[in-house]
Amino acid sequence: MVAEVIDGNAIAKAIRESINAEIGSIQTVNPLFKPSLTIIQVGARPDSSTYVRMKLKAAEEANIVCTLQNFPEDITESQLLSEIATLNDDTSVHGILVQLPVPAHISEIAVTNAVAPEKDVDGFGPLNTGELAKRGGSPLFVPCTPKGIMVLLEKAGVELAGKPVVVLGRSDIVGAPVASLLRNADATVTVCHSHTENIEKYLKEADVVVSAIGKPHFVKGEWLKPGAVVIDVGTNYIPDATKKSGQRLVGDVDYESAAAVASKITPVPGGVGPMTVAMLLQNVVDAAKRYYAEQAKRHITPLPIKILDKVPSDFEISRNQKPKNIRVLAKEIGITENELENYGAYKAKIQLSLLDRLAHRKNGKYVLVTGITPTPLGEGKSTTTVGLVQALGAHLGKIAFANVRQPSMGPTFGIKGGAAGGGYSQVIPMDEFNMHLTGDIHAIGAATNLLAAAIDTRMFHERAQKDGPLYKRLVPAKRGVRKFSPVMLRRLKKLGIDKTNPDDLTPEEISKFARLDIDPATITWRRVVDCNDRHLRGITIGQGPAEKGHTRETGFDITVASECMAVLALSNSLTDMRERLGRMVVASSKSGEPITCDDIGAGGALTALMKDAIKPTMMQTLEGTPVFVHAGPFANISIGANSVLADKMALKLAGTEPGEDEAEKAGYVVTEAGFDFTMGGERFFNIKCRSSGLVPDVVVIVATVRALKLHGGGPDVTPGVALPEVYRKEDVELLRKGCANLGKHIANAKQYGLPVVVAINKMETDTEAEIQCIREEAIKAGADDAIPSNHWAEGGKGAVELAEGVVAAANKTEGKDFKLLYDLEQSVEDKLNAIATKMYGAEKVELSDLAREKVETYTRQGFGNLPICVAKTQYSLSHDAALKGVPSGFTVPIRDVRASVGAGYLYALAAEIQTIPGLPTHCGFMDVEVTDDGEIEGLF
C-alpha cells in the first residue's frame, strides 16, 4: 500500500484564491472593506523571519493588508504590551499576531493574553482557548494549525465521527486545541505525550494519528494501523550535508515507512505548514467581517420606564430610573472603548478621533427643534427634544441622539432651574447634568479669566517700562538662549516681520512687536463666573497698592456668555478652536488697530485649558437613548445651540455604512436652538450652519395652546403665579387669533427651503378642539404636519406619532431647496435689515450713532463680512416684549454692535441684555441638600 498524499500546498493555494475572491466580492458593495493583519516580531531569529516572510507573501496573494512591526530584542515587556494595546485600539487593524517565540525576558503568556480577543487571529488568548476547550464553546478564533488540520481532514474526505484518534503532544498551540476540535467532531480522542507508556499500543488502534510531539522521525510505520490517516505536524531540523543550510526539515513521522502502511498522509514540508498560514488569513478575513457586522448591528436597547398617572417631580423620576453604564450605551451605538473617557458610571467624553474613523459614513438625518415666541414659562423645547429622541430610539428602533447645551449653574441655583427636559422626557442623571458635568464650563471660565488677567497685566507692564527692557522681559534668555515662542512667531508674521532670532529685530521692529498700546476704553473682554452674581456687573479693578493707581472700570459676565464658549460651540476641530481663540479681538490700540488674544500671547494657553472641553460629553435619556451634552453659549448674544462637533459626531454615529439601506438604517440627530425660530433658528442657519457646513433635513417648531392664547390677546403669564382661567379652559377663537404667531414662525422657517413639522406640546388642560385648531392653522401656514405630543406625561410613547411625522418629513426628496437669509458680502446694515424685515416683520432697523461708529470701525478692521447675531427679547417677534402676536410696521433700534471675531460673528444689541443674571429672593440653592449617603436632594 502507498499512502495518498494530502497536498497542503494545493489546498492552501485554493483557500488563498477563495479569500481573494471573497474580499473582492465584498469590496464591490463596500470599497472600505480591507482586512488588515499586523505581525509583531521581536528580534530577528532566522526561523521566525522565514515564517514571517511566508505570511507576508501569502497575505499579499490573498489581498490582505499585512504589516510587520519589528522590535529590537531588548524591548521590555511593558513596552511591548503598550505597543499591543495601541494596535488593540486601532480599528483599522483586524488581526494581531505575535510571532513566537519571544525573548526569554518577556512572558509569552502575558503577550498572547494582551491581544484583544476580537483580534486574536492566532487563537492563543485565554478567551479563545477557554471557549474552545468548553463543550459547546464559541471561540472567536480557532488556533491556525489545529484549524488547518481539520480542513485537511475534511478535504481528504476523512470521516471522524466515532473513529479512534490519537493525538501525540499536548501543547496549548496544537495538541490540546486539536484534541478539542476532534472531540467536537465526535471522534474518540486519546492524547499521548512524552510520559505516555506504550505509545505504540495506542497508535496501533487509531484510525487517525495527529503527531505534534516535536521529535524527528518518532512515529514508525510499523506502529500504525494499516489504512490509518496520518497528519504530521512536526517541524524538526536534522543535519543534511547536501543542503546549503546544512540541515533539512522533517516531520515527527518516518515518512517512508509510514507511507507504506497509511491510507493518507501529509508530507513535511508541504502539508500542515501552508494550511497554518491559510487559516491565519481566513481568521483575519473573519475578524474584518465580524468588525463590519458589529458596526451594522448598532442598536439601542431601551430602558423601560414605569409611567404613573400623577407625574412625579422631575427629580423623583430621574432618581427612580437606573441608567445604563455609559460603556454599555457606547458599545450599543458603535463607540470604541479607546474613544471613551469615563467620568463616573453615567457620563463620558468622546474622543474627536471618532470623526476620522467614521469619516466614510454618510450622515444620519439632522433635525432642528425650535419654537414659537414663548411665554416666561417656556414651551418645552428641551422636553420635546428629549421626548422625540426617546420615541425615535426606544420605540421606532432608530439610532437617535438628543444634542443639547450644557446648562449654566447660574440659572440652576437661581430661579429658572435645570435644563434636562422634564417629566418622563429628560436627561439622566439630572443632578449630574445640571451641576459641573465634566467641567467644561469651569475650563472656559479659567481660560476667559486668564486672558482678562493677561490684558491688564500687559497694560501695566507697558506703562512701567520702555521698549528695550519690555522686549527683554517679553523674550528672556533661558539657559543663555533667547527664542520666540510659537505665539510670538504668529504676532511677528501678522506684523510682517520675517525674523526668527530675537536679537535680529531693529529698534522700530522691537517697538511694534512689544508695545500693544491698548486703549482701555475699547476693552471688551470681561471676567466671568458661573453664578448669578448681580453685584459683579460693574466693578473697579486695580485698587491694590501694587497696581500703582492703574484702575479701570469693568465687570463680570456669566461664564456661558464668554466668547470662549461661543468658540467652543462653533469650532470644527482642535486646530480650528486654536485659530479662533487666537483671533478673538479683546480691544483696539490707540491707533485703532484690533488687539487679539494672540497679540496678548495667550492663544496657546487658552487652547491648553480647553483641550478637554472640546470633546463632547455623552449621557442618556430616561429611556436609555444617547445624548450629547456640549457647549452652552448664551442664547441672547450668541447662537444658543450646542456644538458643531457634537452634531458632527452624532451624525456619523447615526449614519450609514457603504452598502447599508439608508432609508432603513439611517438614524436621527435632534438638536435644539434657543428661544424661538426668529432668534435661535435664524442664528442656527446663518451662523452655525455656515460654520459646520451641515444642513438640517427638517425643522420642528414647538407650540403650546397656552402661548398661542397669549399671542391671541390673553393676559400676561407670570412664573410662580396661578395661570389665568382663560389658559385652563377651551377658547378656540382666542387660540385661532394667536396662531398667527405660529404661522409667522412657519413662514420664517420655510424661507430656508426646508420641511416644517409643528410639535404641539400637550398639556392636561388642552382640548381636542384646540389641538385641531392649531393643526388646521399650521398646515394652512405651510407646515408639512402638526402633531400633538404627550411626551412629558408618557415619555417616548407619547411622542411616537410626532416621531413618525418627523421621519416622513426628513425623508422627503421633493421641495427641499436650502438657502440662507443673506450673503456675507452684504453690508452690516443690509444684513441687519434682512433679519429684521424677513424674520421679525419690521419695517427697518435704525442704528444709533454708537452702533454706526462701531460698524464703521469693524468694517475698517476687516470684520464687516461676518454674520450677525441680534440680541433682543425672546418674548416678542419684535424688539419690544410688550408686542405680542405678529406685530408689523415697527423699527428695530440697534443701540450697539459688538464683535465676537473668534467665534465668527458680530452681535447687535436691540435691547439691553444682562450678561450676568441676578438671584431672586428665594433662590434655587436654598432647597438643595446632600444626604449622609451623598445623594443630592431638593433640585427642581
Q: Is 543 a catalytic residue?
A: no
Q: Is 99 a catalytic residue?
A: yes
Residue with cell 435691547: 911
Secondary structure, 3-state, 708-742: HHHHCCCCCCCCCCCCCHHHCCCCHHHHHHHHHHH
Q: Which of 518, 386, 503, 400 is nearest to 451 (CA)?
A: 518
CA 800 to chain centre: 26
Give whole-number Cα distances, 774 to 172, 452, 635, 743, in Å: 73, 50, 27, 10
Cell of 930: 446632600
Q: Annotated catalytic residue: which of 122, 207, 598, 676?
A: 122
Q: Annotated catalytic residue: which of 99, 282, 426, 620?
A: 99
Q: How far apart are CA 211 and CA 247, in angstroms?
A: 21
Backbone angles phi, psi at 912, to 5 degrees: -75, 120
CA atoms in the 13 A half-sphere facing the CB of 301 = 11
Supply the DSSP symbol for 840: I
- Beta-carbon neighbour count of residue 319 at 10 Å? 18
- Measured between its terminal Cα atoms, the distance across the chain in Å is 90
Give whole-number Cα distances, 620 to 425, 539, 629, 747, in Å: 11, 41, 10, 34
Exposed / middle / buried, residue 532 (Cβ in 10 Å: 0-12, 13-18, 19+): buried
Could you tell me if 686 and 867 are in contact, meaning their C-beta atoms sit under 8 angstroms apart?
yes
Query: In the chain, what's the furthest Cα-to-Cα distance?
Result: 111
Q: Is residue 451 classed as helix, strand or coil in its secondary structure?
A: helix
Supply the DSSP symbol for 686: I
Q: Which of 685, 748, 683, 751 is nearest to 907 (CA)?
A: 683
Give whole-number Cα distances, 857 to 517, 584, 687, 860, in Å: 18, 16, 21, 5
Q: What is the DSSP string of 279-316?
A: HHHHHHHHHHHHHHHHHHT----PPP----SS---HHH
Q: Which of 238, 226, 239, 216 is nearest to 265 (CA)?
A: 226
Q: How far apart are CA 762 and CA 424, in angstroms?
A: 13
Could you tell me if 390 and 796 are in contact, meaning their C-beta atoms sit under 8 angstroms apart?
yes
Catalytically annotated residues: 55, 99, 122
